[in-house]
Amino acid sequence: MYALVDCNNFFVSCERAFQPGLEGRPVVVLSNNDGCVVARSNESKAMGIKMGTPFFKVKYLVDQGKLVVRSSNYTLYGDLSARVMSLLSEVAPKLEVYSIDEAFMNMDGVPDSDLPGICRELIVKIRRWTGIPVSIGIARTKTLGKVANHFAKKYKGYMGVCVIDTDEKMHKALSLTPIGDVWGIGWRGTPKLKALGVETALDFVSRPREWVHERMGIVGVRTWSELQGIRMVEEEKEEKEEKRMSICTLDDLDELTQRVSDFAGKCAEKLRKEGTAAGTVGVFIHTNRFREDLEQYYPNASIRMEVPANSTPEIVGAALKALKLVYRPGFEYKRAGVIVADIVDADSIQQTLFGFDSSARDRDDRISKVMDMVNTSGKNVLRLGTQRGGHYADGIRREFCSGLYTTSWSDLIEVR
């Protein structure tokens, strides 16, 4: 059996864990640069605030005291996520972290009758030790686990744990699950299926396999099979995905240079932390697509590294080369970002035979190691000249950011 553990309203829950005064109040968390709503409490959902709503559209509610807003605090969220996942790993024979707030526990070998009790004890422990409320869905497959988790979260009678372990329960759950809520269908597949008369997950599994394959291919068949309790999605091998960071910026090249440097430096730091290196460094800059009165420009460029790198000087240097290729004056840029791709294990890097200065690489690597040791607070205490420091460590505007309660000595909560 699989047990899908999902942290409830995770970003909001992280804020509430250290600010209990936010309990019961409408709270939203904003995206990078305080742009759009990316997380909502149940109370803010009840107010009709949608995911992706631009902040300026709900700012009047903040001004009136009817809504609490917080900037994204990914350092805090990441640390609390790691703590939750650590507790899960103590229970699960095999754990697959799916996202910052979700994980699949493969409970094969654990008696099915023991699972509800184990999961309820885990819910209590996670809440007590981290302050984060979680819901758990238990089923034969990952996709059914997602369905079960939805019911565990929606209905209080389940006390946080929903189990789909019989055909009868599966039939009822699928009949109550809109097709758009099925993992693997999504917003793209939903209109097409609804047009064909498929409104629920049960409607979907009632169609013949050939019908599903003809319209949705092998991916659709996998989802169709999983909803019937047939495992098709096994544990995925951990892969190094591209690391992307985006920032808000102005039309001044110096300002863009500083902020792109900030982000490139952060990417390099993450690469080193994961023991990887990037073969390509890319930069994009975008104007504000909502400003129809302004001329639009959405360029991007990539620099291929001669040898994959993860040192701050090399990654930042490549990012600034890419920036110079695409920058044009006269535009009001709203977004910019750095993407590192073609990621490989740092230990597997092979040097080129000609034209590569290994002594410079050694120097940059030593500099980066020293920077990592000094910058333990998450701020650019030690940085390149093109980077900004302190509050602007990653180039993101966070007007409503909470403290780094678990990773910064200066932000530790004081009890009087």
- Find all residues with CB under 8 Å of 235, minimum gap 6, and list them: 94, 96, 104, 106
Judge whether residue 365 has pLDDT over 80.
no
Polymer length of the chain: 416
Q: Looking at this protein, which amino acid is placed at residue 150?
A: H
**Distance from C-alpha of 270 to C-alpha of 265, rounded to nearest angstrom:** 9
15 closest CA partner among 29, 1, 26, 2:
29
Q: Does any domain span residue 160?
A: no
In the predicted model, what is the mean pLDDT of residues 303-309? 88
53 closest CA partner among 75, 31, 83:
31
Give me the chain's average pLDDT, please.
Answer: 84
Higher pLDDT, 347 or 139: 139
Q: Does any domain span residue 213?
A: no
Taking only the tens place, the pLDDT of each residue in 4-21 is: 999 999 999 999 999 999
pTM, two decimal places:
0.65
Q: Does any domain span residue 172?
A: no
Q: Does any domain span residue 344?
A: yes
219-to-21, 212, 333 alpha-carbon distances in Å: 45, 9, 38
Place of tokens 């707030």: 101
9-to-15, 40, 131 alpha-carbon distances in Å: 10, 6, 12
The bridge status of strand 102-106 relative to strand 2-7 is antiparallel
Sheet arrangement for strand 27-30: 37-40, 27-30, 68-70
DSSP-derived letter for residue 380 is: -
Q: Does any domain span residue 301?
A: yes
- 314 token code pair: 């090399």
Which domain covers residue 351, as residue numbers?
Answer: 243-392
Q: Looking at this protein, which amino acid is placed at residue 343?
A: I
Neighbours of 165 (CB within 10 A): 18
Residue 84 has what pLDDT?
Answer: 95
Contact present, 268 and 315 (Cβ < 8 Å) = yes
Q: Does any domain span residue 370?
A: yes
In the predicted model, what is the mean pLDDT of residues 392-406? 72
Task: Kindly indicate the confidence band of residue 393, based on its pLDDT and cuts at 50, 70 and 90.
Answer: very low
- DSSP, collapsed to helix, strand or coil, labels residue 361 as helix
Q: Where are the beta strands (DSSP E) in 31-122?
A: 37-40, 68-70, 94-99, 102-106
**Distance from C-alpha of 35 to C-alpha of 53, rounded to nearest angstrom:** 9
Taking only the tens place, the pLDDT of each residue in 101-121 is: 999 999 999 999 999 999 999
Residue 270 has what pLDDT?
Answer: 87
- pLDDT-wise least confident of 148-157, 245-254, 354-363: 245-254
Judge whether residue 359 has pLDDT over 50.
yes
- 51 token code pair: 């995911």
Task: Kindly indicate the confidence band of residue 371, based on its pLDDT and cuts at 50, 70 and 90.
Answer: low
245 closest CA partner among 192, 284, 214, 217:
284
The bridge status of strand 68-70 relative to strand 27-30 is parallel
HSE-CB of 180 using CA atoms within 13 angstroms? 7
- 122 token code pair: 């885990």
CATH number for the domain harbouring residue 327? 3.30.1490.100
Query: What percentage of residues in the chain have a pLDDT greater than 70?
Result: 83
Contact present, 303 and 318 (Cβ < 8 Å) = yes
The bridge status of strand 134-139 relative to strand 276-287 is unpaired
Residue 305 has what pLDDT?
Answer: 87
- pLDDT-wise least confident of 94-108, 143-157, 176-190, 383-397: 383-397
- pLDDT-wise least confident of 73-77, 87-91, 134-138: 73-77
Q: Does any domain span residue 294?
A: yes
Q: Does any domain span residue 303?
A: yes
Report the domain count for the chain: 1
